[in-house]
């Protein structure tokens, strides 16, 4: 079974690979600028006290994204990748 | 739509290739040491934790003010002793050359006293507060604050970067207004500009700290009284932040309708601050800069006040008429006419509001030697001040029209008279309402 979830659903401490970025316009450009492209490995680091934004490890730096934005990013969690390969 | 799809697909391909290439080069030439991150994680676990995140922010703010208040006590006293000793020397010289009474009054009692008050009361807290704040900046704590508070900005329809323009505002609101350029969306940029004044700038901090230590912690032991006054100042700052959010919320639902746009925030690794550089930089860039600005404005203001206080129309001085005229409104707000007059005449710079107030009180009553904070407190008590007056003074200091420099900057940045006027009227109305309600509840 191949499971794809949106980035905001990835639990703290888990990693995954970006598959699709469904944002457009300025938001999309900003995400690409961070190095969030299909194939990038992302790890959820921590949630802010209110649960939004959430901080991720992206290419060696920790970046916080609002749930609005991370919802538009689809990822394949690592555990799933391991099972499929 | 198809064209846009294609465009995005091709764009992705380019970006992906670029990143891939960059990663390959980086892998060849760099060695990643996985050190330090653990400590960072531990600290972050604490400062952004669900339960401790907010209390720690408040505590840290309180500690910064506490160190400022405790540390500034002694040097303030020394400086003001020095200045009053020198005033004695000046007086002696003026008597020696038999200078006319008006010249002595204008130069010594007007200009010199105003100046020495500004320097002795403002310099020590600034010389302590600014380096501390710069150290926090250097450490990398501010992005964590932005991380903790972001959902509040989002819910009030403001941009996430507003926490950055606000922390610039702590230094100077005009700088905060200029910093709003980093916000691309015009709607959110205007919100950031219009609300920046709700963050007390360093022209207002010394007044807040002085009022708090004189009136908010009386009758408790020395050690805990400085702690209480520190927490009061921290609460005033928090009040300012809450009002910022409330007004942003109101603006995004009325004049500046819209949702907040997307926002990403990097949480950089903590860095060991370069203490010496911080000390030097904050002293020259901030302390001396602000002090010089205050001195430049306080000197002519001192002269102006002296004239207003000594030109009599009929029975009373000009300043007494002005203060009398404002008195009814002041009383409703739990303040008095002199305080309101000081805020109005202090339009050029917030730094001179308290000096103007002191000079006005002194010109009405007997001349006393204002050589310490306790003498200052006695002067205010003689004028009928209570803790309520001090509280409302602090609140109105937080919630009134921005200084002239900031207003000019707003005019330049927005290019609109309408928004500039709103930026002045909005906080003033909030201030009048808040002070009146508090005076009404307590009274």
Residue B267 φ then ψ, to 5°: -105, 90
Confidence of residue B4 (pLDDT cuts 50, 70, 90): low
User: Which A residues 34-63 touch B at CB under 8 Å?
Assistant: 34-35, 37-40, 45-46, 48-53, 55, 59-63
Tokens of B282: 């904050």
Long-range contacts of B374-379 (CB under 8 A, 24+ apart): B376/B210, B376/B214, B377/B214, B377/B215
B120: number of Cβ within 10 Å: 23
Domain locations along chain A? 5-84
Residues 6+ away with beta carbon under 8 Å from A15: A41, A42, A43, A44, A77, A78
Domain locations along chain B? 52-442
Strands (E), B264-396: 264-266, 312-313, 316-317
Is the CB of residue B255 less than 8 Å from the CB of residue B426? no
Q: What is the least distance, in Å, from the CA of A77 to any CA of chain B?
A: 20
> How far are the Cα atoms of B95, B98, B307, B320 from residue B103, in angstroms, in the given order?
11, 10, 11, 21
Q: pLDDT tens-digit profile of B207-226?
A: 898 888 888 877 666 667 88
So what's the pLDDT on residue B2? 61
* Residue B246 reports pLDDT greater than 80: yes
So what's the pLDDT on residue B371? 58
Which residue from B minimizes the CA distance to A37? B16
Dist. CA B337–CA B155, nearest whole Å: 39
Inter-chain touch A38–B12, beta carbons under 8 Å = yes
Which residues are registered as beta bridge partners of A6? Answer: A74
Spell out which residues of chain A touch residue B150, defining contact as CB-CB under 8 Å. 48, 52-53, 64, 66
Confidence of residue B367 (pLDDT cuts 50, 70, 90): very low
So what's the pLDDT on residue B387? 92
- Helices B53-96, B205-215: crossing angle, 10 deg rounding: 90
Which residue from A minimizes the CA distance to B160? A66
- Of the ranges A12-16, B137-141, B259-263, which one carries the lowest mean pLDDT score? B259-263
Which residue from A minimizes the CA distance to B155? A52
Q: pLDDT tens-digit profile of B6-51?
A: 777 777 788 888 888 888 898 889 887 765 567 888 888 888 888 8
Of these ranges, A28-32, B147-151, B302-306, the one predicted with the greatest mean pLDDT is: B147-151
Tokens of B236: 């005033």
Average pLDDT, chain B: 85
A68 in reach of chain B (CB within 8 A): yes
Quick one: how far is CA A63 from the chain centroid?
10
Dist. CA B117–CA B367, nearest whole Å: 15
Q: What is the least distance, in Å, from the CA of B199 to any CA of chain A?
A: 23
The DSSP symbol for B286 reads: I
Tokens of B200: 């007390």
So what's the pLDDT on residue B34? 64
Confidence of residue B418 (pLDDT cuts 50, 70, 90): very high
Dist. CA B288–CA B224, nearest whole Å: 31
Inter-chain touch A49–B23, beta carbons under 8 Å = no
Q: What is the least distance, in Å, from the CA of A52 to any CA of chain B?
A: 6
So what's the pLDDT on residue B427? 96
Which residue from A minimizes the CA distance to B152? A50
Q: What is the least distance, in Å, from the CA of A62 to any CA of chain B?
A: 5
B270 in reach of chain A (CB within 8 A): no
Spell out which residues of chain A touch residue B19, defining contact as CB-CB under 8 Å. 35, 37, 40, 59
Alpha helices by DSSP H, listed for chain A, are: 25-33, 67-70, 78-84
* Residue A79 reports pLDDT greater than 80: no
Confidence of residue B110 (pLDDT cuts 50, 70, 90): confident
Tokens of B306: 């002296």
Which of the residues A13, A53, A65 would you substitute to probe the B interface, choosing the one with the greatest number of B C-beta atoms within 10 Å? A53
Which residues are registered as beta bridge partners of A44? Answer: A56
Task: Give chain A's length.
Answer: 85
- Of the ranges B11-15, B230-234, B245-249, which one carries the lowest mean pLDDT score? B11-15
Stretch B170-189: mean pLDDT: 87
So what's the pLDDT on residue A80? 56
B30 in reach of chain A (CB within 8 A): no
Helix (H) / strand (E) element for B299: namely helix B289-310
Q: What is the least distance, in Å, from the CA of B262 to any CA of chain A?
A: 6
Dist. CA A3–CA A5, nearest whole Å: 7
Which residue from B minimizes the CA distance to A32? B15
% of residues, chain B, pLDDT over 90: 29
Stretch B358-374: mean pLDDT: 64
B45 in reach of chain A (CB within 8 A): yes
A20 in reach of chain B (CB within 8 A): no
Q: Choose among B190, B208, B211: nearest CA to B199.
A: B208
* Residue B131 reports pLDDT greater than 90: no
Inter-chain touch B53–A30, beta carbons under 8 Å = no
The pairing of strands A54-58 and A61-65 is: antiparallel
Query: Does residue B328 sit in helix, strand or coil?
Result: helix
Q: pLDDT tens-digit profile of A7-52?
A: 999 999 999 999 988 888 778 888 888 888 888 899 999 999 988 8
Which residues are registered as beta bridge partners of B312? Answer: B317
Tokens of B351: 């730094």
Residues 6+ away with beta carbon under 8 Å from B189: B159, B180, B181, B183
> How far are the Cα atoms of B101, B125, B182 from residue B22, in angstroms, in the given order?
77, 48, 27
For chain B, how big is the Rg over CA atoms in Å?
25
Tokens of B184: 């691309």
Q: Choose among B182, B192, B264: nearest CA to A68.
A: B264
So what's the pLDDT on residue A85? 45
So what's the pLDDT on residue B101? 83
Which residue from B minimizes the CA distance to A38? B16
Inter-chain touch A23–B45, beta carbons under 8 Å = no
Spell out which residues of chain A touch residue B20, defining contact as CB-CB under 8 Å. 39
Q: CB burial class (10 A; 0-12, 13-18, 19+) of residue B168?
A: buried
Dist. CA B127–CA B209, nearest whole Å: 14
Confidence of residue B107 (pLDDT cuts 50, 70, 90): confident
Confidence of residue B198 (pLDDT cuts 50, 70, 90): very high
- Helices B142-155, B222-253: crossing angle, 10 deg rounding: 40
Dist. CA B11–CA B9, nearest whole Å: 5
Spell out which residues of chain B touch residue A51, defining contact as CB-CB under 8 Å. 151
Dist. CA B14–CA B7, nearest whole Å: 11
Tokens of B103: 């010249």
Residues 6+ away with beta carbon under 8 Å from B243: B198, B398, B399, B430
So what's the pLDDT on residue B366? 44
Spell out which residues of chain A touch residue B265, defining contact as CB-CB under 8 Å. 53, 63-64
Tokens of B20: 């891939």
So what's the pLDDT on residue B320? 85
B50 in reach of chain A (CB within 8 A): yes
A14: number of Cβ within 10 Å: 15
What's the fold here for domain A5-84?
A: SH3 type barrels. (2.30.30)
B37 in reach of chain A (CB within 8 A): no
Inter-chain touch A49–B148, beta carbons under 8 Å = yes
Alpha carbons within 13 angstroms on the beta-carbon side of residue A12 total 12
> How far are the Cα atoms of B48, B58, B227, B238 from residue B55, in angstroms, in the given order?
10, 5, 16, 12
Q: Among A23, A45, A48, select the one facing B148 at the smallest CB separation.
A: A48
A17 in reach of chain B (CB within 8 A): no
B344-371 burial by CB neighbour count: b if 16+ within 10 A, else e?
Answer: ebbbbbbbbbbbbbbbbbbbeeeeeebb
More confident residue, B84 or B341: B341
Spell out which residues of chain A touch residue B54, defining contact as CB-CB under 8 Å. 49
The pairing of strands A54-58 and B312-313 is: unpaired
Q: CB burial class (10 A; 0-12, 13-18, 19+) of residue B84?
A: middle
């Amino acid at each position: 079974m191949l499971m794809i979830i949106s980035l905001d659903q990835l639990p703290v401490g888990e990693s995954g690979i970006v598959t699709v970025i469904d944002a457009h316009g300025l938001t999309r450009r900003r995400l690409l600028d961070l190095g969030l492209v299909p194939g990038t490995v992302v790890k959820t680091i921590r949630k802010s006290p209110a649960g939004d934004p959430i901080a991720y490890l992206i290419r060696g730096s920790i970046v916080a994204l609002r749930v609005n934005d991370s919802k538009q990013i689809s990822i394949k969690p690592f555990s799933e990748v391991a099972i499929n390969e | 739509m198809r064209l846009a799809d294609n465009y995005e697909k091709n764009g992705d391909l380019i970006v992906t290739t670029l990143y891939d290439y960059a990663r390959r080069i980086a892998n060849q030439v760099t060695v990643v040491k996985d050190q330090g991150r653990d400590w960072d994680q531990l600290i972050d676990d604490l400062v952004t934790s669900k339960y401790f995140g907010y209390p720690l922010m408040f505590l840290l703010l309180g500690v910064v003010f506490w160190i400022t208040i405790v540390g500034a006590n002694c040097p303030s006293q020394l400086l003001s002793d020095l200045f009053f000793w020198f005033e004695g020397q000046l007086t002696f010289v003026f008597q020696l050359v038999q200078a006319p009474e008006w010249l002595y009054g204008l130069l010594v009692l007007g200009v010199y006293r105003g100046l020495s008050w500004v320097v002795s009361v403002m310099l020590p807290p600034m010389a302590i507060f600014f380096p501390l704040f710069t150290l926090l900046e250097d450490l990398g704590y501010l992005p964590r604050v932005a991380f903790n508070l972001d959902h509040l900005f989002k819910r009030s329809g403001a941009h996430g970067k507003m926490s950055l323009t606000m922390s610039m505002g702590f230094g100077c609101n005009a700088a905060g207004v200029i910093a709003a350029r980093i916000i691309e969306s015009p709607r959110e940029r205007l919100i950031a500009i219009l609300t920046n004044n709700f963050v007390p700038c360093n022209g207002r901090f010394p007044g807040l700290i002085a009022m708090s230590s004189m009136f908010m912690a009386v009758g408790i032991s020395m050690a805990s009284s400085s702690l209480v006054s520190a927490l009061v100042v921290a609460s005033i700052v928090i009040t300012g932040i809450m009002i910022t959010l409330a007004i942003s919320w109101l603006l995004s639902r009325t004049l500046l309708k819209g949702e907040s746009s997307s926002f990403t925030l990097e949480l950089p690794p903590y860095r060991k601050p370069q203490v010496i550089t911080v000390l030097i930089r904050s002293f020259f860039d901030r302390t001396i800069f602000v002090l010089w600005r205050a001195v430049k404005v306080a000197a002519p203001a001192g002269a102006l006040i002296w004239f207003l206080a000594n030109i009599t129309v009929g029975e009373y001085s000009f300043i007494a008429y002005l203060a009398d005229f404002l008195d009814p409104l002041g009383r409703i707000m739990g303040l008095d006419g002199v305080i309101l007059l000081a805020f109005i005449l202090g339009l050029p710079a917030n730094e001179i509001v308290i000096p103007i107030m002191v000079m006005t009180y002194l010109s009405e009553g007997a001349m006393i030697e204002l050589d310490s904070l306790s003498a200052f407190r006695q002067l205010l008590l003689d004028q009928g001040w209570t803790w309520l007056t001090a509280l409302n003074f602090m609140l109105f200091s937080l919630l009134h029209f921005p200084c002239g420099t900031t207003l000019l900057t707003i005019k330049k940045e927005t290019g609109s008279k309408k928004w500039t006027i709103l930026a002045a009227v909005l906080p003033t109305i909030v201030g009048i309402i808040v002070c009146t309600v508090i005076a009404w509840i307590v009274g």
